Structure 1
Amino acid sequence: MSLIPEHALMPLRRDGLDPVPALREAREDHPVRDFPLPYGVKAWLVTGNAEARDILGRTEGLSTDFGHLVGSAGIKSGQNPGGLGFTDPPEHTRLRRLLTPEFTGRRLSRLGPRITEIVEGRLDAMAELAAAGEPVDLVRDFATPIPALTICELLGIPYDERDEFQALSTARFDLLSGATAAFDKISDSLVYLRGVVERQRDRPGEGLLGMLIREHGDELDTDELAELADGLLTGGLETSASMLALGAVILLRDPSVAAMVRDEPGSVHGFVEELLRYLTVVQIAFPRFATQDMVIGGVEVAAGDALLVSLSGADRDPRLTPDPERFDPRREPTPHLAFGHGIHRCIGAELARMELRTAYPALLRRFPHLTLAAAESTLPLRTTSVVYGVDALPVSLGAS
């Protein structure tokens, strides 16, 4: 009973890079539909864009508090990850207020030169591997190190500890072994990060953690700091790594798209926005629980019901943009939900955009003849992960 039943995993399944047809059929049948879950949980699957935006934007009547999950699938109160994702106002408001100044465009702009250095360093490392006759894996050598180095830089966490938090980050999103196992990984991550916080309390660094300790150390205890760092670390690592890798697959499918991104500097903004919409690697938003009766999309939702918002389904809704199943790098940017919406919208959205806009053109300029070194059909795509991704992406750099 620790395993999640197959029908409940449908919103996480994909056919290559596309959501499975069953998700589109669910949206066409009704954008808010009954979605039976085990353990007596009454749930609704939301696949329509307008309905998803309505739910994510509500500040009253819905809760993401972790307490609603306790008891479901054996989840214990001690597994509470805290942070922003599983917290309601006013606590959520207090915590987000402390973080928001560090994620404004002006503050983030100081990271721009460092991101460029990180990207160029990874490109150098890939060239060295190829020159030595070693295989190059775009996940291992490019897509993962770039956000890992960036988030370490932001938080002030030693990069030589990246393997530990990287493994904890990836494992938590895979629901193949059930929700309990995923929350166990979060608990492991928090144990590690509490140690990081304690070290920074003794000697605050120059990163975000050090800043929070110096300026708000009396307002935040060790658990709260670890929980905030956990949310930023995993949210800023796994999602960006998946986007960088899967976006590269899109580029390598079509040389004309790669040429556009490489040779037309003004095109990268629209390309990245369409990529975010089309891939929507975070497939489901944090579950919402109704705290009062309400009507959403013509459906009566009762207090206590769970609402599961399929972000990948909502971003393929024809009401958002025409022909949504087609990737169009010149499409007018849409108000997609790849970063969520409302008070729980990803606080690091602009940082992720900076990484993507820097990394893709640099990759294509350095290696204009980059190709996949394996058939796309053989790539090890994840099958049950909340954050969709690929575990390896072998490439040939070609003649530079």
Structure 2
Amino acid sequence: MTDSSVTDESASVSTAAMRRILPAEMVERGRNPFDPPPGLRGQGAVRPLDLLNGAQAWLVTGFDEARTVLSDARFSADKMRHRDATSPQQREVAAPRGEREDGIFVFMDPPEHTRLRRSLTGQFTVRRMRELESRVTEIAVEHVEAMKAAGTRADLVPAFALPLPSLVICELLGVDYADRAEFQERTAVGLNASSTPQEQATARAELYAFMRRLVAAKHANPADDLLSGLIHDTDPPLTDAQLVDVALLLLTAGHETTANMLGLGTFALLEHPDQLAALRADPGLLDNAVEELLRFLSILQLGVSRVATEPVTLGGVDLPAGATVVIATPEVNRDPRHWDDPDALDVRRPRTPHLAFGHGVHQCLGQQLARIELRIGLGELISRLPDLRLAVPAEQVPVRDEMLIFGVRSLPVTWS
């Protein structure tokens, strides 16, 4: 889970709209689904990017340059107050500077971001994470054993990759798991570039109505969950509008990104049998493997953008005030200046920092939970299905090029 993806905390927000303004070569992967889209490769660490809406942005593919953008206060995440070339409707005039009343903290700068972020950090306690770790194990074991009991073949996405993080985020927030189909369906519509604007607007309205009902219920009957804690333990208290925004961000991010990493990560291991064999031989490599898969796959194709609030020189390129910069995470995480043989998947690779969870003040709030889910989920699959393999040729596995959060639509697998 992330504050939005296994990525920077804004990964899951408004991605479908951005997908429509990006050239196809920036998001559609080639013959190898694990490699970055070809349009991201080469041409320098910082370069102009012509968008299909007629605007120009700057594409950042260098690791050091990306870290600078994500940590330098001269680059703003506030799309309400700064004109962002990737926004669906570019504003000619910035919004007033009055205090914001929404809870979409992924598009805020300090100090507004700081207050909302701090309220959430207080809910991601060590105790809660430890309790969730045992629960993640129970969920993973239950779903693997259910697959085995049903036969020798399954689609790993609905049978395992999606329900595991969905159950966890539902329990964390205090959402009835019976309602999961509603938010999963609405989220999918909102993140799909092929959805019409009306379909997306309807999905958003239904998601907000769903969350307003949940907030009202937690006001009346609090429990030991994160949303109840935000309502009753935050000082000064958050408004209901802020609670709805925050909860929707967490709910959307908490299942969408980790589910895609579980599906795509399993696909990658099955297509790299030497790496899978290394994990089977030494389960102690699992933590290392999770970090390497996060680096290697980088499922957020594009989407984390910032606006320069003053002239900045980045990677030797002079950017004017108001320039929009877009982080190309898959290419950033394969910068040959930081990794030897970066296009290779190597679960024994020494652990080094990557940007799959972002960097700076917006770094993924839920990265600890995401790592737990990936380590336990992949570990249980590998140990309980020792001969797990694809049930179809790799080229027949359908990928999600139309989404900015990359993954597989389904993953047919089999075992003896």
Aligned to 2:323: 305
Among candidates 336, 357, 363, match of residue 354 of structure 2: 336
C-alpha displacement of 1:69: 5.8
In 2 relative to 1, CA 370–201 (structure 1 residues): closer, same or farther, beyond 3 Å?
Answer: same
> 2:46 & 2:181 partners in 1: Cα distance?
40
Aligned to 1:363: 381
> 1:356 & 1:8 partners in 2: Cα distance?
31
> 2:294 & 2:19 partners in 1: Cα distance?
28
Asked if structure 2 preserves the Cα contact closer than 8 Å seen for 1:82 and 1:227, the reply is yes
In 2 relative to 1, CA 185–12 (structure 1 residues): closer, same or farther, beyond 3 Å?
Answer: farther
> 1:184 & 1:289 partners in 2: Cα distance?
29
* 1:9-48 matched pairs, under 5 angstroms: 9-15=24-30, 16-25=33-42, 29-48=43-62
Question: Is 1:128 aligned with 2:184?
Answer: no
C-alpha displacement of 1:321: 0.4
1 or 2, which has the higher helix percentage?
A: 1
Asked if structure 2 preserves the Cα contact closer than 8 Å seen for 1:382 and 1:390, the reply is yes
> 1:276 & 1:6 partners in 2: Cα distance?
26
In 2 relative to 1, CA 354–91 (structure 1 residues): closer, same or farther, beyond 3 Å?
Answer: same
* 1:59-208 matched pairs, under 5 angstroms: 59-68=73-82, 72-74=87-89, 82-130=103-151, 135-177=153-195, 185-208=203-226
Asked if structure 1 preserves the Cα contact closer than 8 Å seen for 2:20 and 2:193, the reply is no
SS at match of 2:58: strand
The alignment covers a number of residue pairs equal to: 389
Aligned to 1:50: 64
* 1:241-320 matched pairs, under 5 angstroms: 241-320=259-338
> Unaligned 5+ residue runs, structure 2?
1-16, 96-100
C-alpha displacement of 1:324: 0.6
In 2 relative to 1, CA 281–316 (structure 1 residues): closer, same or farther, beyond 3 Å?
Answer: same
Asked if structure 2 preserves the Cα contact closer than 8 Å seen for 1:65 and 1:88, the reply is no
Asked if structure 1 preserves the Cα contact closer than 8 Å seen for 2:74 and 2:308, the reply is no
C-alpha displacement of 1:21: 2.6
> 1:181 & 1:262 partners in 2: Cα distance?
45
Bigger CA drift: 80-89 or 209-218?
A: 80-89
In 2 relative to 1, CA 290–75 (structure 1 residues): closer, same or farther, beyond 3 Å?
Answer: closer
> 1:296 & 1:181 partners in 2: Cα distance?
39
> 1:187 & 1:33 partners in 2: Cα distance?
37
Asked if structure 2 preserves the Cα contact closer than 8 Å seen for 1:372 and 1:395, the reply is yes
Asked if structure 2 preserves the Cα contact closer than 8 Å seen for 1:64 and 1:287, the reply is no
Asked if structure 2 preserves the Cα contact closer than 8 Å seen for 1:85 and 1:286, the reply is no
Asked if structure 2 preserves the Cα contact closer than 8 Å seen for 1:4 and 1:178, the reply is no
Q: Deviations over 1:190-224 (max 9, x none)?
A: 23212211111111122100111111286211111
In 2 relative to 1, CA 362–33 (structure 1 residues): closer, same or farther, beyond 3 Å?
Answer: same
Q: Deviations over 1:232-264 (max 9, x none)?
A: 111111110011001111221233322332342
Asked if structure 2 preserves the Cα contact closer than 8 Å seen for 1:43 and 1:307, the reply is yes
SS at match of 2:289: helix
In 2 relative to 1, CA 146–294 (structure 1 residues): closer, same or farther, beyond 3 Å?
Answer: same
C-alpha displacement of 1:273: 0.5
SS at match of 2:233: helix
Bigger CA drift: 169-178 or 346-355?
A: 169-178
SS at match of 1:35: strand
In 2 relative to 1, CA 9–175 (structure 1 residues): closer, same or farther, beyond 3 Å?
Answer: farther
SS at match of 1:45: strand
C-alpha displacement of 1:392: 0.6
Aligned to 2:253: 235
Counterpart code for 1:362? E
Asked if structure 2 preserves the Cα contact closer than 8 Å seen for 1:282 and 1:311, the reply is yes
Taking only the aligned residue pairs, the percentage that are identical comes to 39
TM-score normalised to structure 2 length: 0.86
In 2 relative to 1, CA 186–325 (structure 1 residues): closer, same or farther, beyond 3 Å?
Answer: farther
C-alpha displacement of 1:70: 8.2
Q: Deviations over 1:162-214 (max 9, x none)?
A: 11111222333333458886676445422321221111111112210011111
> 2:348 & 2:225 partners in 1: Cα distance?
37
SS at match of 2:216: helix
> Unaligned 5+ residue runs, structure 1?
none
Asked if structure 1 preserves the Cα contact closer than 8 Å seen for 2:136 and 2:168, the reply is yes
Asked if structure 2 preserves the Cα contact closer than 8 Å seen for 1:285 and 1:340, the reply is no
Asked if structure 2 preserves the Cα contact closer than 8 Å seen for 1:47 and 1:311, the reply is yes
Asked if structure 1 preserves the Cα contact closer than 8 Å seen for 2:123 and 2:229, the reply is no
In 2 relative to 1, CA 186–281 (structure 1 residues): closer, same or farther, beyond 3 Å?
Answer: farther
By relative contact order (CA 8 Å, sep 6+), the higher-ranking structure is: 2
SS at match of 1:216: coil
> 2:201 & 2:337 partners in 1: Cα distance?
35
> 1:242 & 1:156 partners in 2: Cα distance?
22
In 2 relative to 1, CA 116–164 (structure 1 residues): closer, same or farther, beyond 3 Å?
Answer: same
